[in-house]
């Protein structure tokens, strides 16, 4: 038990400290106390007190609490950044945009911020536009379609700026900062630009709240579309995607019309029971070198190899003129990846072609390629300008972490030799390096060295092993 030393006690006159009356049990009359206080107050000088400025109050978010908030900016994955008034506490909310005032409900706290779900909008955001896609409110692929494209570019540029200054520790006051970060180059094409889209088959068809009541009995719960954000087992049925080409949308429509037919015996893969046949539908678009027309590859990812089950779909899909390749990737693992252990060509050729800055590429189902061909050409041109090559064919170019080597190849006319280095660039199941190398060797400079890992070197079209 702690004790207080005698030197710690001091006699206090209660008449000069009136606040002690609240703590003291009086054993005398209140009239004598009042008289003593009046005498004491007359003898004491007057003191003027000032109220200190109100400090920022601490905020302790509670699950289910509703708040009126204003979105200030966009963070990674287009999450709206909001702050509680007078506290500065950060709240993150999905599907809100800068300037939007809304009512939100706190769903959970994570460290020094909390997540909020939007209940309703009070006033809309700046640069408001109508989203052209009917799935924009639910699909996770295009969260900012209702934001003007120029505003999207500004928001992205702000995110990059914060990463460079806060994480990279670059000073934006430095005169050379403009060389470190340059303005974003917008894309001239906002829709139908993707040359690859991957859709998933599922046993659970996710429906928005307004459609749940209208759901009819007997309607199939199977789905083919895109995953709902936050759910690995629920898929939103997509009839048409504005990101892919129109021929690809025609293929998607054909598959949607007939794959649920019970007579075909097709079933979606169940991620819980691991039963079912169809896993993914991948669509890749390219261009024929001679005609310039669209080439389309259809890739069915299945849990087993049963090509006879796909025959009815193949017959209908192959009737579309742009379809030049139908392949089947077989993925027997319980994982839901689209890359199979084996690949079979069911119709047409095993690859499609694409031209990038005058270079022709043969693209297989699992090859990596820039998904936005138009903007990739813009990007590679900027790389060429930034590299500052003399262009007299006397220089050696190093393309480090080259991946498939497309950047170095597009500069082929500018240098004498190219050395590409990338560890495990083509280490994909079911695809040997020799078969993958056709992807980039269809057009190459005379002096080209490609090192895919620390043991293998390609020179021209011959393979040498370096010990």
Answer with the residue of higher pLDDT: 459 or 274.
Answer: 274
With a CB cutoff of 8 Å and minimum separation 6, the contacts of 283 are: 196, 197, 198, 199, 244, 248, 251, 252, 296, 297, 298, 299
In a shared domain, residues 233 and 305: yes
Give residue-wise pLDDT tens across range 64-82: 999 999 999 999 888 999 9
At residue 36 the predicted structure's pLDDT band, cuts being 50, 70 and 90, is very low
Answer with the residue of higher pLDDT: 15 or 416.
Answer: 416
Q: Please indicate, yes or no, if residue 162 is contained in any of the structural domains.
A: no
Torsion sign over Cα 433, 439, 442, 443: negative
Give residue-wise pLDDT tens across range 125-156: 888 899 999 998 888 788 889 999 999 999 99
At residue 467 the predicted structure's pLDDT band, cuts being 50, 70 and 90, is very low
Q: Do residues 243 and 192 lie in contact, with contact meaning Cβ atoms separated by under 8 Å?
A: yes
Kindly state the average pLDDT of the residues 46-58.
42
Answer with the residue of higher pLDDT: 292 or 19.
Answer: 292
In a shared domain, residues 293 and 404: no
pTM (2 d.p.): 0.76
Residue 453, helix vs strand vs coil: coil
Position 423 scores a pLDDT of 54
Position 335 scores a pLDDT of 81
Kindly state the average pLDDT of the residues 352-380.
91
Q: Of 232, 228, 223, 226, nearest to 205 (Cα)? A: 223
In a shared domain, residues 272 and 307: yes
Domain boundary among 129, 147, 165: 147
Least confident of 52-56, 187-191, 271-275: 52-56
Sequential DSSP letters for 143-197: TTTTB-HHHHHHHHHHHHHHIIIIIS---TTSTTHHHHS------S--SS-BSEE
370 annotated ligand-binding residue: yes
Q: Please indicate, yes or no, if residue 205 is contained in any of the structural domains.
A: yes
Q: Please indicate, yes or no, if residue 179 is contained in any of the structural domains.
A: no
Q: Please indicate, yes or no, if residue 57 is contained in any of the structural domains.
A: no
Q: What is the mean pLDDT of the chain?
A: 79
Six-digit token pair at 424?
């495990």
**Sheet containing 278-287: order of strands:** 235-237, 223-227, 196-202, 278-287, 294-302, 323-330, 342-348
Kindly state the average pLDDT of the residues 339-363.
92
- Give me Rg for the CA atoms of the chain: 33
Torsion sign over Cα 26, 28, 33, 39: negative
Q: Please indicate, yes or no, if residue 267 is contained in any of the structural domains.
A: yes
- Residue 13, domain extent: 8-42
pLDDT over threshold 60, residue 421:
yes
Q: How many CB atoms lie within 10 A of CB 173?
A: 7
In a shared domain, residues 330 and 218: yes
In a shared domain, residues 370 and 344: no
At residue 213 the predicted structure's pLDDT band, cuts being 50, 70 and 90, is low
In a shared domain, residues 12 and 85: no
Give residue-wise pLDDT tens across range 78-106: 899 999 887 889 999 998 999 999 999 99
Sequential DSSP letters for 372-389: BHHHHHHHHHHHHHHHT-
Least confident of 251-260, 349-358, 458-467: 458-467
Q: Please indicate, yes or no, if residue 324 is contained in any of the structural domains.
A: yes
DSSP 408: H
Give residue-wise pLDDT tens across range 301-342: 999 999 999 999 999 999 999 999 999 999 999 887 889 899
Q: Which residue has the tokens 């030393």?
A: 5
Number of structural domains the chain divides into: 4
Name residue 356's beta-bridge partners: 359
In a shared domain, residues 368 and 344: no
In a shared domain, residues 322 and 236: yes
In a shared domain, residues 201 and 332: yes
- As a whole number of angstroms, the distance between CA 71 and CA 99 comes to 5
Six-digit token pair at 104?
């939100």
Bridge-based pairing of strands 456-459 and 342-348 is unpaired
Q: Do residues 397 and 419 lie in contact, with contact meaning Cβ atoms separated by under 8 Å?
A: yes
Q: How many CB atoms lie within 10 A of CB 412?
A: 19
Residue 400, helix vs strand vs coil: strand
Q: Please indicate, yes or no, if residue 223 is contained in any of the structural domains.
A: yes
In a shared domain, residues 208 and 322: yes
Position 454 scores a pLDDT of 40
Q: Please indicate, yes or no, if residue 34 is contained in any of the structural domains.
A: yes
Q: Do residues 447 and 416 lie in contact, with contact meaning Cβ atoms separated by under 8 Å?
A: yes
Give residue-wise pLDDT tens across range 221-230: 899 999 988 8
CATH number at residue 132: 2.40.50.140
Position 8 scores a pLDDT of 44
Give residue-wise pLDDT tens across range 157-176: 999 999 999 899 999 888 88
Percent of the chain having pLDDT more than 90? Answer: 48
In a shared domain, residues 308 and 430: no
In a shared domain, residues 345 and 245: yes
């Amino acid at each position: 038990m702690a004790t207080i030393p005698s030197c710690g006690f001091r006699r206090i006159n209660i008449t000069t400290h009136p606040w002690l009356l609240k703590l003291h049990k009086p054993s005398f009359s209140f009239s004598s106390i009042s008289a003593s206080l009046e005498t004491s107050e007359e003898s004491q000088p007057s003191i003027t007190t000032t109220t200190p400025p109100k400090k920022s109050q601490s905020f302790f978010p509670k699950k289910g609490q509703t708040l009126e908030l204003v979105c200030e900016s966009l963070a990674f994955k287009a999450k709206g950044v909001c702050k509680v008034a007078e506290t500065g506490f950060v709240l993150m909310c999905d599907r809100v945009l800068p300037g939007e005032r809304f009512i939100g409900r706190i769903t959970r706290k994570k460290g020094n911020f909390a997540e909020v779900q939007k209940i309703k909008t009070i006033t809309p955001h700046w640069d408001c536009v109508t989203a052209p896609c009917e799935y924009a409110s639910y699909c996770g692929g295009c969260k900012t379609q209702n934001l003007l494209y120029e505003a999207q570019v500004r928001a992205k540029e702000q995110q990059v700026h914060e990463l460079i200054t806060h994480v990279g520790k670059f000073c934006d006051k430095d005169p050379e900062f403009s060389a470190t970060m340059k303005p974003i180059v917008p894309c001239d094409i906002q829709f139908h630009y993707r040359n690859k889209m991957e859709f998933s088959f599922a046993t659970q068809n996710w429906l928005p709240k307004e459609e749940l009541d209208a759901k009819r009995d007997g309607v199939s719960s199977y789905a083919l579309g895109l995953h709902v954000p936050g759910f690995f087992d629920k898929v939103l049925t997509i009839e048409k995607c504005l990101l892919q080409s129109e021929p690809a949308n025609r293929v998607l429509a054909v598959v949607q019309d007939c794959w649920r037919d019970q007579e075909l015996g097709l079933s979606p893969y169940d991620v819980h029971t691991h039963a079912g046949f169809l896993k993914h539908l991948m669509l890749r678009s390219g261009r024929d070198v001679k005609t310039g027309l669209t080439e389309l590859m259809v890739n069915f990812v299945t849990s087993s190899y049963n090509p006879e089950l796909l025959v009815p779909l193949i017959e209908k899909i192959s009737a579309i003129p742009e379809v030049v390749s139908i392949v089947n990737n077989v993925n027997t693992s319980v994982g839901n990846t689209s890359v199979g252990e084996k690949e079979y060509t069911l119709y047409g050729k095993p690859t499609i072609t694409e031209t990038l800055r005058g270079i022709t590429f043969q693209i297989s189902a699992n090859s990596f390629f820039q998904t936005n061909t138009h903007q990739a050409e813009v990007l590679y041109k900027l790389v060429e300008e930034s590299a500052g090559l003399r262009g007299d064919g006397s220089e050696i170019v190093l393309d480090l972490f080259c991946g498939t080597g497309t950047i170095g190849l597009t500069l082929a006319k500018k240098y004498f030799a190219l050395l590409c280095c990338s560890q495990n660039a083509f280490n994909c199941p079911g695809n040997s390096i020799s078969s993958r190398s056709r992807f980039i060797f269809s057009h190459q400079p005379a002096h080209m060295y490609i090192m895919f890992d620390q043991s293998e070197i390609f020179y021209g079209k011959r393979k040498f092993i370096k010990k």
